[in-house]
Amino acid sequence: MKISRSMENLRNSAILILFGSILFIIAAVLPYTRVFIETDTHKKLAIIQELRLQWNVSHIVFILASLLTSAGVSLLVGIYARALQTPWAWFIAVSIILGALLWIWDCVERLLSPESFVFGTGTPYLFLIFSILTMIGLFLLGILILKAGLSAWVGWMLMGAMTLVAVLFIIFKDVPPIVYFIFTLILGIRLLTMSGV
């Protein structure tokens, strides 16, 4: 019964992570996203105004996707933090959840006032702190996955990828959030196959 419950929780975690990651990636590749590579502020605003429905829907989806993915990661952490008696693992859940909440805050500001995004007048450091917390959380998750003997290549992938992402963030001062969700997508797929689905 205990093994069955653990496998059920693993499957639920995988489904939440997978579904959340897929939603985020879909929302991040809609046509409006060219606004993020446009450098002219007036053109940025024009793109958002032209594709306002996409802008609004995608940011609502971003919020939902972040909630689902962070819930899935937290469930995964809960399984192994208790089983392996590793209290430090709860920091992973805290880091991911806090990061998600800051991203949601950022998304709400963008929904209510696209101008604040375009002209950089929104609450400062939301995206920066979200990025740092997410990188740390996913890196530590890689360590937990290795310690749990879940999937060595996934553990090393998360650790290596987050190290590289951190370096790129320092160099370019920005990394698109879709990058994190590509790796959680891979994690979700791997967990789902391991849960017997």
Task: Round to whole Å and give the CA distance between 72 and 15.
Answer: 7
pLDDT, tens only, 146-174: 999 999 999 999 999 999 999 999 999 99
Closest among 74, 58, 72, 71 to 23, alpha carbons compared: 58
Task: Please return the burial class of 56, using the count of CB atoms within 10 Å of its CB with bins 0-12, 13-18 and 19+.
Answer: middle
176 touches 36 (CB < 8 A): yes
pLDDT, tens only, 27-39: 999 999 999 999 9
Band of pLDDT at residue 197, cut at 50, 70 and 90: low
Task: Round to whole Å and give the CA distance between 186 and 18.
Answer: 8
Task: Round to whole Å and give the CA distance between 117 and 42.
Answer: 12
Mean pLDDT for the stretch of residues 8-27: 96
Evaluate if residue 19 carries a pLDDT over 80.
Answer: yes
pLDDT, tens only, 85-117: 899 999 999 999 999 999 999 999 999 999 999
pTM of the model: 0.94
Band of pLDDT at residue 1, cut at 50, 70 and 90: very low
Q: Quote the distance between the C-alpha of residue 124 and its chain's center.
A: 20
- Whats the size of the chain, residue-wise? 197
162 touches 138 (CB < 8 A): yes
pLDDT, tens only, 110-139: 999 999 999 999 999 999 999 999 999 999
